[in-house]
Structure 1
Amino acid sequence: MTLTHAPAPESGPIEIPDSAATTPTTAKPAGVSHTAHARRWWALVIIAMTQLVVVLDGTIINIALPSAQIELGLSNTERQWVVTSYVLVFGALLLLGGRIADTWGRKRSFMLGMIGFGAVSLYGGLAQNALDLLLARGLQGLFAALLAPAALALLTVAFPFGRERNIAFAVFGAVAGSGAAVGLLLGGFLTEYTSWRWCLLVNIVFVLIGVIVGAFVLSESKSEGKARLDIWGAITVTLGLGALVYGFTLAEEGWMHVDTIGFLVLGVILLAVFVLIETKVAHPLLPMRVVMHSVRAGAYFVQAVMGAVLIGSTMYLAFHLQLVLGMSPLLAGLASVVMTVITILVVPMVTKLLPVTGPRPMMVFGPFIAAVGMFWMTFITADGSYVVQVMPGLILVGLGVGVTLVPLQNLALVGVAPSDAGSASAMVNVAMQIGGSIGLSVFALAAASASLTAAENGAGDLAVQASGYSAVFLSAGIALVLAGIVSVFCVRGKKEDLLPSHG
């Protein structure tokens, strides 16, 4: 069986010797050396580590924010933008990064992205003021936008089909699902025992490992032929996404303000122009065939919601644990890691079930399970118990995330031609990062509105904060319900057509 709507490959991608269509699913093909076969699994390790870095960097700073705010004198708005600047720039530039990886070379893009990411992490770790930190976070997003789609495209061509592909994407999905919570745990540990600055400096360790090992185990691949970069498409989609997210951020001050309406309208217009450009140019930044496939479109929407949950809501969870329940940074990180542990435990079981049930049941029930967990946490109070009010919700969210993310990565790339691997891979991360940045803005609005209402009703300071965080969890739960509903209608087709494996 081949990928949906894609012809069976006659030969493998460039320098991927074991991707012939006749390859058995459980053994490497004849003529492929043991060394070459083993290199793919080392490549998976490096690619998974890369995904961990780009995901955890969306949250690792969360627990450190109170300490960074005091040392650098950040305002509350600047504090939120420490997170938003990273995920916004990351998401807005991912499509361009994916196309660069396709045309310039995926390994080459991966290596440049890693080196740049390490350099600006050093800059951020040495930040002396708010501008330094915000600029460093934005530049991290820029290099992550080059790094992440190259990494996922390398994984796609290294494991083109079969049981090994399912295993590879299960590992990748588990890392993507757990990275946000790992960031909270690591951020808590580093903040408490070293300094908040090490939440950025620790990236240098990952970068050194990735560059050194990646130089030996990764094989270069890129699209066949020469393709020109879609500059106007890159400009319109970057400015459009940026304007849209910034408009949501301004909505915290009021939906009817001229600035809010102006940026939201501008974002929509620019994105509409982008779509028009993509239908006209010879070498589009995002071929419309990538997103017009109903299954992939549904997967991208679910990924966006997961981004909002794993990036946006976890920031407010960190605030609740520290600012309301009074936990130390390390204890707050440990309290959050419950979600990660459940995800890690669930993934192997879900991976074994995937060929039996197919992706659709998981894509439907996973978001609903996570939604129940979010709704549970809406009952938090200023004097409540973590064990009663928070931990059961985190267990359910971890379960739902694990169930959802195992099939999600495969569905987001199902039926994609090798020449579109970079763009489709970029869309996976675009959805997550833009979902996260919009989620941060929407959650900030929900928290502010609920906190204002609680304050007007005479609630104390801690109760006001708890009311705001409760509204965030309610919003996240509603978004997860919508993701489950979208999966019902979009993730359709025979089980075999949705599983890129043979036999």
Structure 2
Amino acid sequence: MKRWRALIVLGTAQFLMVLDASVMNVSISQLVEDFDTDVTAIQAVITLYTLVMAAFMITGGKLGDMFGRRRMFRLGLIVYAVGSGLTAIAPTLWVLALGWSVIEGLGAALVLPALAALVAGAYRGRDRATAYGVIGGLAGAGIAVGPLLGGWLTTYLTWRLVFAGEVVLVVAILLLLRWIAPEPAPEQRIRLDVVGVLLSVAGLGLVVLAVLQSSSWGWLQPRNPPFTVLGFSPTLFAIALGGVLLVLFRSWELRREDPLVRFGLFRIPPLRSGLLMLFSQNLILLGLFFVIPLYLQVVLGHDAFETGLRLLPVSVTMLAASMTGPFLGRFASPRTVVRIGLLVLFVSSLWLVGTVKPELDDLSFALAMALLGIGMGLLASQLGNIVQSSVGEEDRSEVGGLQYTAQNLGSSLGTALIGAILIGALTAAFGNTVAEHPQISEPVRQQAGIRIEAGVSFVPADQLSAALAQTSVPPQEADAIVESYSAAQLDGLKVSFLATAGITLAGFAFTGHLPARRASGGTGRTGGSGRTPKAEEPAS
């Protein structure tokens, strides 16, 4: 039992990192009310949290190499607790964004790369596969507990108690930190590449920001942007500028002796495929976990606790499936397990399309969510071990940074992209329905068209009805507009689920270089041909 004490500490930290993101997703409606804002603003706060983690995760891994992984693990937990405490007392939306999105995000960017490296350093062979299965399982437990705990507290007390409780949990982890053996000091002095940090953060930030704002700015034709570029929306220009900065980042890194990212690592096929799959997995999961609560709360009117209950099947099955990694490794290769997981995800996404109706079919929805959890759990049972086992000990921290960068970049783009697809599909469907509705007169149709062109928010139909009651629109036409809006909401949700199904299919293209042999009980390193290149082979 003594050998698993480090895993208890590290697994609890992993659970903590996942917990509050799932709380925020089921508390969207309450956050909108508490801060007198709209869904798009909360979407931005959620996206910013994962974006900060994605942008600084590689830096966090490098700091672990410089000053020690356990030390950065401790510092990250302290920063995370400060952010949690500030979030718990946040009086305004910008303070919420500062405490949760920025400070907690920076803390997590220090904790997670160190966590991945500490797990890999503490265990070998089948123990390592077991450890990563447990870490994935505890991430699933965070997803399981988050909606229920957050939903119950949000509905009957306040969501703020979750963040206050996180401070207490961090203190408990810090008290048990001695269970993690200190690693040896770095053999050579490592310097932080500040220019690389700035280029990577700016590039990633611009890309994600542009995708997030695409629903309100417009992709090409300007809808409601703060400015235009040659008469066009700034969305594609911002994405292009972000891409240029990332190209400059790569060029800068290739010329440095001590780069922030050694791009030679991407020559290791299992590592490259594993990172792409982690990106895809989190894009799908966080995109769905943003859209599904909107369906349950905004369209169907469920409170946060009822939403948490309906998310329970995905959480439970994800937890169970993610713990099966060592068992499945006896019968199938990681590549096979991941492909089965993708197939299950594809089927569940299509199933969810069929469940989007004005009234929820509880059994069908629960089965679709349970299937979704199985697919996610199968991926989680394999990918962490694939990534960390593809390199040697000296590369653990850097690869841990890459691992969580891929995950959180997928998370931020998932929330931003699937949210933008939802709003875009809602706007298009609402505009088409209003234009064709026989009970809406031409003057009202023109007035509605102007408002739709300026941008549509995802709000309860009752809120739209109340707003129309304050205008001069005749009651019969107001009812027709509300009816059109309700139908457009369902259409937008269906398009979002179809988009996740398409992304899942695209994920099959990234599986070709995943390990094709069952893991052995030796070193725990696997590759497409049973081994991977030595850590020294990928030159910087």
Q: Which of these residues, 300, 303, 314, is aligned with residue 275 of structure 2?
A: 300
Q: Which moved more, 1:373-382 or 1:432-441?
A: 373-382
Structure 1 residue runs without a partner (length 5+): 1-36
Are the counterparts in 2 of residues 224 and 419 from structure 1 also a CA contact under 8 Å? no
* Secondary structure, counterpart of 1:390 in structure 2: helix
Q: Which moved more, 1:238-247 or 1:53-62?
A: 53-62
Instruction: Report the alpha carbon displacement of residue 380 of structure 1 after superposing the two structures with TM.
Output: 3.2
Residue 187 of structure 1 pairs with residue 150 of structure 2: yes
Instruction: Supply the distance in 1 between the matched residues of 2:522 and 2:419 (Cα, whole angstroms).
Output: 38
Instruction: Report the alpha carbon displacement of residue 350 of structure 1 after superposing the two structures with TM.
Output: 4.3
Residue 309 of structure 1 pairs with residue 284 of structure 2: yes
Are the counterparts in 1 of residues 329 and 518 from structure 2 also a CA contact under 8 Å? no
The within-5 A match list for 1:252-331 is: 252=215, 253-256=217-220, 257-331=232-306
Residue 148 of structure 1 pairs with residue 112 of structure 2: yes
Q: Which of these residues, 98, 101, 112, is aligned with residue 75 of structure 2?
A: 112
Per-residue deviation, residues 139-182 of structure 1 (Å, max 9, x unmatched): 111111011111111111001x2121111011012223443343
Instruction: Report the alpha carbon displacement of residue 413 of structure 1 after superposing the two structures with TM.
Output: 1.6
Instruction: Supply the distance in 1 between the matched residues of 2:185 and 2:219 (Cα, whole angstroms).
Output: 44
Q: Which of these residues, 450, 467, 477, is aligned with residue 501 of structure 2?
A: 477
Are the counterparts in 2 of residues 48 and 172 from structure 1 also a CA contact under 8 Å? yes
Aligned to 1:403: 378
Instruction: Supply the distance in 2 between the matched residues of 1:229 and 1:198 (Cα, whole angstroms).
Output: 37
Aligned to 2:359: 384
Question: What is the count of residue pairs matched by the alignment?
Answer: 464
Residue 61 of structure 1 pairs with residue 84 of structure 2: no
Instruction: Supply the distance in 2 between the matched residues of 1:383 and 1:493 (Cα, whole angstroms).
Output: 45
Change (3 A) 1:439 1:348: closer
Q: Which of these residues, 445, 465, 490, is aligned with residue 420 of structure 2?
A: 445
Residue 198 of structure 1 pairs with residue 221 of structure 2: no
Instruction: Supply the distance in 2 between the matched residues of 1:218 and 1:225 (Cα, whole angstroms).
Output: 21
Are the counterparts in 2 of residues 89 and 142 from structure 1 also a CA contact under 8 Å? yes
Instruction: Report the alpha carbon displacement of residue 213 of structure 1 after superposing the two structures with TM.
Output: 0.9
Q: Which of these residues, 512, 521, 524, is aligned with residue 501 of structure 1?
A: 524
Q: Which amino acid aligns with 1:436?
A: S
Change (3 A) 1:498 1:398: farther
Q: Which amino acid aligns with 2:122?
A: A
Aligned to 1:345: 320
Q: Which of these residues, 6, 11, 16, is aligned with residue 48 of structure 1?
A: 11
Aligned to 1:8: none
Instruction: Report the alpha carbon displacement of residue 381 of structure 1 after superposing the two structures with TM.
Output: 3.3
Are the counterparts in 1 of residues 418 and 496 from structure 2 also a CA contact under 8 Å? yes
The within-5 A match list for 1:117-196 is: 117-137=80-100, 138-159=102-123, 161-196=124-159
Structure 2 residue runs without a partner (length 5+): 221-231, 435-482, 527-540
Are the counterparts in 2 of residues 414 and 498 from structure 1 also a CA contact under 8 Å? no
* Secondary structure, counterpart of 1:229 in structure 2: coil
Q: Which amino acid aligns with 2:356?
A: T
* Secondary structure, counterpart of 2:234 in structure 1: helix
Instruction: Supply the distance in 1 between the matched residues of 2:394 and 2:515 (Cα, whole angstroms).
Output: 25
Are the counterparts in 2 of residues 377 and 473 from structure 1 also a CA contact under 8 Å? yes
Change (3 A) 1:71 1:289: same
Instruction: Supply the distance in 1 between the matched residues of 2:43 and 2:135 (Cα, whole angstroms).
Output: 28
Are the counterparts in 1 of residues 291 and 493 from structure 2 also a CA contact under 8 Å? yes
Identity of aligned residues (%): 26
Are the counterparts in 2 of residues 109 and 147 from structure 1 also a CA contact under 8 Å? yes
Per-residue deviation, residues 308-365 of structure 1 (Å, max 9, x unmatched): 1222211211121122222221121011010111122323444312133121101111
| Structure 1 runs of 4+ with >6 Å offset | none
Aligned to 1:426: 401
Per-residue deviation, residues 111-135 of structure 1 (Å, max 9, x unmatched): 1111111111111111111111111
Instruction: Supply the distance in 2 between the matched residues of 1:96 and 1:218 (Cα, whole angstroms).
Output: 23
* Secondary structure, counterpart of 2:290 in structure 1: helix
Instruction: Supply the distance in 2 between the matched residues of 1:248 and 1:111 (Cα, whole angstroms).
Output: 34
Change (3 A) 1:200 1:348: closer
Q: Which moved more, 1:250-259 or 1:281-290?
A: 250-259
The two structures have a TM-score, normalised by structure 2, of: 0.82
Q: Which of these residues, 314, 335, 342, is aligned with residue 367 of structure 1?
A: 342
Instruction: Supply the distance in 1 between the matched residues of 2:178 and 2:515 (Cα, whole angstroms).
Output: 40
Instruction: Supply the distance in 2 between the matched residues of 1:62 and 1:346 (Cα, whole angstroms).
Output: 22
Residue 464 of structure 1 pairs with residue 491 of structure 2: no
Q: Which amino acid aligns with 1:491?
A: L
Q: Which amino acid aligns with 1:281?
A: R
Per-residue deviation, residues 14-57 of structure 1 (Å, max 9, x unmatched): xxxxxxxxxxxxxxxxxxxxxxx71x411111111111222233
* Secondary structure, counterpart of 1:74 in structure 2: coil
Per-residue deviation, residues 449-479 of structure 1 (Å, max 9, x unmatched): 2212332315444333222222222111211
Residue 235 of structure 1 pairs with residue 198 of structure 2: yes
CA RMSD of aligned residues (A): 2.1
Instruction: Supply the distance in 2 between the matched residues of 1:363 and 1:498 (Cα, whole angstroms).
Output: 20
Instruction: Supply the distance in 2 between the matched residues of 1:53 and 1:499 (Cα, whole angstroms).
Output: 31
Between Structure 1 and Structure 2, whose CA radius of gyration is higher? 2
Q: Which amino acid aligns with 2:163?
A: L
Residue 100 of structure 1 pairs with residue 31 of structure 2: no
Are the counterparts in 2 of residues 241 and 267 from structure 1 also a CA contact under 8 Å? yes
Instruction: Report the alpha carbon displacement of residue 414 of structure 1 after superposing the two structures with TM.
Output: 2.5
Instruction: Supply the distance in 2 between the matched residues of 1:474 and 1:261 (Cα, whole angstroms).
Output: 23
Instruction: Report the alpha carbon displacement of residue 499 of structure 1 after superposing the two structures with TM.
Output: 8.2
Q: Which amino acid aligns with 1:315?
A: F
Residue 244 of structure 1 pairs with residue 207 of structure 2: yes
Change (3 A) 1:133 1:479: same
The two structures have a TM-score, normalised by structure 1, of: 0.87
Q: Which amino acid aligns with 1:125?
A: A
Aligned to 1:491: 514
